[in-house]
Structure formats: structure tokens, C-alpha cells
Structure 1
Amino acid sequence: MIEGVIMERIYLDHAATSPMHPKVIDKMVTIMNATFGNPSSIHSFGREARHYIDLARAALARSIGAQETEIIFTGGGTEADNMALFGVAESYQTKGRHIITTQVEHHAVLHACKKLEKMGYEVTYLPVNETGRIAITDLQAALRDDTILVSVMYGNNEVGTIQPINEIGQLLEGHQAIFHTDAVQAYGVEDIDVNDSNIDLLSVSAHKINGPKGVGFLFARSTVKIAPRLFGGEQERKRRAGTENVASIVGFHEAVLIANEERSVKRENFIELKETLIKKLHEGQVEFNINGSLEYSLPHVLNLSFPGTSVEAMLVNLDLAGVAVSSGSACTAGSIEPSHVLVAMFGKQSERLTNSIRFSFGFTTTKEEISKTAEEIAKIVKRLKK
């Protein structure tokens, strides 16, 4: 960077984390300044804190068509996923020890499943097609009398593909298996109703919807038994011990209100940004392929493969140009662990594993930023292909 010149920075990694909304920050600061009581205390300071948690719980429940008592506050999406999987595995082990999930889940689900396998559970990992979707027939074939849990993510964090959630819910009606979905990427942009979709457990994280990091929730249907992972006080109806993170819960509440209010406008905007990026890349004569599905897709996530380039070079060059994106893979010491999602979609030999980039949009993203990004990509791709 030239001395004295401030480079414009463009953030297109909202699927990794999103900036907090100014209204969320204001709400949290107000609470941190004025409401410090422990929600479990019975005096006025405690009751005031408890009131804010109750308001948040009611709003979160309404946002997915649930009851207030079915919302369990957690430390984020990972904890919600772990609580769902281990909580069900322990509570229902007398009914069976078979679990079904997919090959493209977030590691919070996949690594939990690997741990459950070591504990004597049997896990079936469903394959996906080239767009990243499972086939209902595969799920049907995998379903057994001793299946106690089916965990299928709502929308994929790397490629944006949305799974056939309603069909899965219908298939599991009348079966003993509990249906869990990791909705961390979908919540706030998709219309989710747990009753319409027959969802029993649903995981959400606040920092993906312009709320604070370190807070999320698990929706657990009242008929589902969940063995707790934490032991101590009687918070969250004895399901999750520990003093509640009041300021973050209030911030989460505000983020949800904003997301609900702006959802349809935001969705249209994201779809337009996606179309603009694709169009501008075509105009810049950039060769690329879309990983995933445009038909069944989260509006804010777009994963593209750029033949003849490498992920590391693309990420570094884009970062130098002021554009923040990700590969959806972990970059370590110059080597890239291939994305398990792309491996499941295209196989271990596919060159898409080494040249794919994820772009993800948020409320701060503008069309101008997308056009500028496309220009920078065109320059970088030409340079890398020489």
C-alpha cells in the first residue's frame, strides 16, 4: 500500500462472519451499561435481566413458528449442533444407535458424528449430486428401524445449496428418527417454519445475521428429549447450565428483528448481486464454473471455480487488491486441505478442488463493490494464466 493512500477494502466473506448491525451494537451497549443483574437472581436487578431474555426468546421462537419453551440459548452454532447430536444420541440409545447425515455438513456436525462413531454409534453419510443436493431416495434407502437421528443442513455454507428439507420432514413423519437441521447459513435469509417442515431440532448462530459472536440457539421440539452437555445451575429449563449472556442475547434479538423486517428486500438484493457478479465476469471474459445450484441456493452465497488458477494465488491476489473472500477450505502453511464439500460433489480428482472461491454477501455489500471485484478478478485471472 502506498504511504498515505487508503485502499478501499471490500468484504465478501459474510458466510464466515458478518459485521454487527449498528442498531445491534447500540442495543448491546445500552444493556451493558444499565442491566448487569444475574437473570437467576430474584431481586429487581435479576428480574430486569430475565425480562430481556424472555423478550428475546419469544421473538426467536416466533421467527421459526416455535414455542418459547423450545428455544435453548447456546454459545453459537457449533454448540447447538453438538447439543443436538450428542443430546439425542444419549437420550435415544435404547431405541437404536444409527444416525444419518450427509457428506457436506459443517464440521460441527461431521466431527461430532466421527466422535459418536468412536462411542459405538453407526453413521451413514449420504452422498450428494454435482449441485450438492442429496437424493430423497438415498435417504429412504438408508433409513432403518433403529435410526434415531437424521441431521441434514438447511443450506450449505460453502456452495449455498439448499437441501430438500420439506421432503425430508415428510419422509420422516411416522418414523422414530428425530430430524435435525443446521440452519446457521439459512436462518435470516430463508423463510423457515419448523412445523411446516416437520423439523425437530434446528441450530442457529447470531454472528451470521449481523448479531454478536458467541451466541446462538437450538430449537428443540417439546416432544424431543435432549440430554444436557453442561451441568451446573438450572438455566434453560435444566438443559444448559451457566449464567446467560444477557447483552449478546439482547443483540441477537435485535438482529433477528432486523432480519425478519428486511428479509424479502435483502433476498432480492442478494440475488441481484449474484447475477451482477456472474454478468460482469462474463463481460470481462473470465472463464469460470458455478459450484452448486442457482435454482436451490442461498441468495447470499456464490462459489465459483476459475480454471487454470490456484486457490492460494487467487486469495492472496484478491486480498492484495482489497477484496476479502474465502476458499471454504482451511489454508495452512501454503497447502490447502481440499474442501470436503467439493470432494463430495466432484470427486477427489476434480481440479475444482484447487481453484474454487466462495463469495458471500451481506447488508453492507454494494453493486459497485461487486463490479470492482469482477474487474480485479479479470486482471488476476489473466495474470495467473500467463
Structure 2
Amino acid sequence: MLNQAFIDYGTYAEVRRLADGTEVVRQKATETEAPVILPPAPLPVSTEGAAPIGGEWTATPVGIVDVVTRTAQAAVEAKKTAELIRYQPITHREPILVPQITSVPKAAAISLNEIDEDQYIRFEQLGKALTSDYSDELRRTKITATRQGDTVTMDVETASDKIASTLALDIPLSSTRESLLRRVMSVKGVQYRPLEVGAAQRIVDRLISAMGDDAGAFLSAFGDRCGQRVAAEVTRALSDASRAQVTYEDEVALEPLIKIREARKERVSGHADGSFNKSNAFNGWDKNLYSHCWFDTLPEFKAANAIDAGRSVVVWARLHINDIPITWTADGRRYNPDFVVVEEVDGKRIGWLVETKADKDVDSSEVIEKRRAARKWANTVNSSPAVEMEWRYLLLSEQDVADALGSWEHMKGFGQ
């Protein structure tokens, strides 16, 4: 016969001031102790056939329970929660307008410095091509005639000699270089800043160097057309360099919290007695946006009671997935706090995002990162002209909730 218990605990002490002003020493401990084998628990009253009649459960059994008892318990619970119930916001409650932050992709600000050494080759090639292309334009055109019987056919061909005397070749290279620089800096998206001018100078110098000793003459004769081709090549180079680069700009918009809640929970009339069951949907709230709500933990349930009783609270709601998503990691992971609360203090509206955590988790790296992200969220929405009231973030440990003794005002003081 087994007669064992598993015990795991750790303790430390802290001094805390309670809501009534008294100071107490709290022994912080995490301890679990449960027998391996428990006697079968009595079953709840039922008048619907299969489930036997018995008394109400006083606690959820922990440990090993025989299959028959567990199956019967599961059947009773399934009947309680089988019906899917939908809950809409209460029409006479003040609506909650929640800020939603959307990260909109924007084209990254382009920079000539994104054109690297490998891409400078294209400007060297362009310089050589310009001298070749426009050398042909400097050649004399020769008209030829061919007779076949009584028919004479006229044609043109490029002469072997070049025209030199008809072109103006007296524009200084320094002037044509400055003209090319202006064309590069005029490319769409390039900002006139010293670092951008420096990058443009490197591009133009590479091009002129590749044109060789005749660069001055060619740019003097064909400066405008050379400038057009250089600008087009810079545009292509920037497009290739920044094709995958985007930035994200936050946009804030107010949206009413009107989502329908759905749950297969046993509906419980009231919540004031303080008894908590994760399987229950509680009603009887004075300021909740919805008639019923349910909770994952006892601290959440206690916090909700304190919020609902708060004198300054106007309206509040238990948050569900994607109600107010907050991005907290670089790869886009998001989370939702537990509550949104709107209060009014001295005529000023304040919005709160409230999160409850177990004492053992409140200082974990994940919770700290989420808190940092939530505070950034609050700073972002407070910076938006679309948001009229101030938003804050409140992190509560389970001990914070307990020491507040049901007071929303004191709970705000305990939070982080």
C-alpha cells in the first residue's frame, strides 16, 4: 500500500504594507503536497439518468483516481459545458475604444552608400560604353550610290574619318563633372546630405576615369545625354541594392471593443462570494463590458473583483486573443494582457492594460520583455493625435493582488 507525498518548496520573507496601512511580514513559499492515491470523490447531484446522485464536490481531486469515478465526473462536467454560449457587449455600458497599432511597411529611405564596390563596375562599364557609343556619332556619314542598269540605289554608311571641328569641346571637365553630380543627386529618393554627395562623387569619378583621356571632350559634346544615362544607371543600382529593404511605420487607430465572446462554460450567478472555478463564467458585474467573463487563475479573478469595485472605474473587460495584441519579440510574437480598464480621476480619463502573473514568474526574462513591449505600446499610442486619453500598463504579481485586499486604488500602487 502506497503512503507517500511529494513536497517541493522554497521560502523567503518580505515586508509589505497592506491596503489598510498595516505592515506585515510575508513568508513567500511555493509548496505542493498531495497523496498519490485519493479516495473517490462524491459526485454532484444529477437527475438526468446515467450520473449517480451524490453531494457537491468540495475540491478538485489531486492524485490518482479510479477510472470509473473519473469517467462519471467527466460526463457530468461535459453536460454542464456542452452548450456554446455567445456574449455580446452590454448595450447600456459605455463602450471601450482601444488603440490598435498597425505596422505599415514603407519603402526604406534609399542611400547612394548602398551601392557597394561590386556595383561600381557597372559605372566603369558605362563610362567605356559612352565613349564607344558617342564615338560613332562623331564619325562622318558617307552617301553611296549603286547603278544596276537604269536603276540607281542610294544608301548611307559610316565613313572611316571623324568630324572634329564642328563640335564645341571647350567646356572644362570640372564643369561637366559638376553637371553629372547634379544629375546623380537628382535621382528620385536621394537626399541632399554630405554623405550622399560623397557617394555621388565616387560614382562620377569612377565613370570619368573609365572614359579615359577623352572624357572631357565627350562630356563637353554629349554631357546632357551622358547625364541621362548615368542617372538611369544609378536608379537601377539603387533598386538592386535596396530591393529587400523595407521599414515599418506604426499607425494608431481607435477601434471599439465589440467582439463576441464564445464559451462552453457553466454560468454562475454572481461572483461576490469569492469562490473561483476555471470552468465557470461569472456574471453580476457592475462595470464589465460583458455580462459574463471567465478566468484562467485565481489572481485574475481577484483582480477582476477589485477592478469592478473600483470607485474610479468607468468600464472594463477581460481581454481575449487579438483584442489588443502587443508585439514583444523581433520575430513578431504577440501577446494580450489580461484586462483593459478605463477609469476617470478628477475628470481625466485613463486607460489601463493590466496583466497578472504568478510570483515565481514576475521577474522572468519573458515577463520583463513583455512589460517593456507593453510600455512601448503605451508610449506609442500616447504619442498619437488620434488618442485623447492617456494609456498606462500595470503588471501585478499574485501577492500584489492579495495585499491590495480587493482595492483597485491600492492595487495600482502595488503594481509594476
Taking structure 2 as the reference length, the TM-score comes to 0.19
Taking structure 1 as the reference length, the TM-score comes to 0.20
Return the structure number with greater helix share. Answer: 1
Return the structure number with greater strand share. Answer: 2
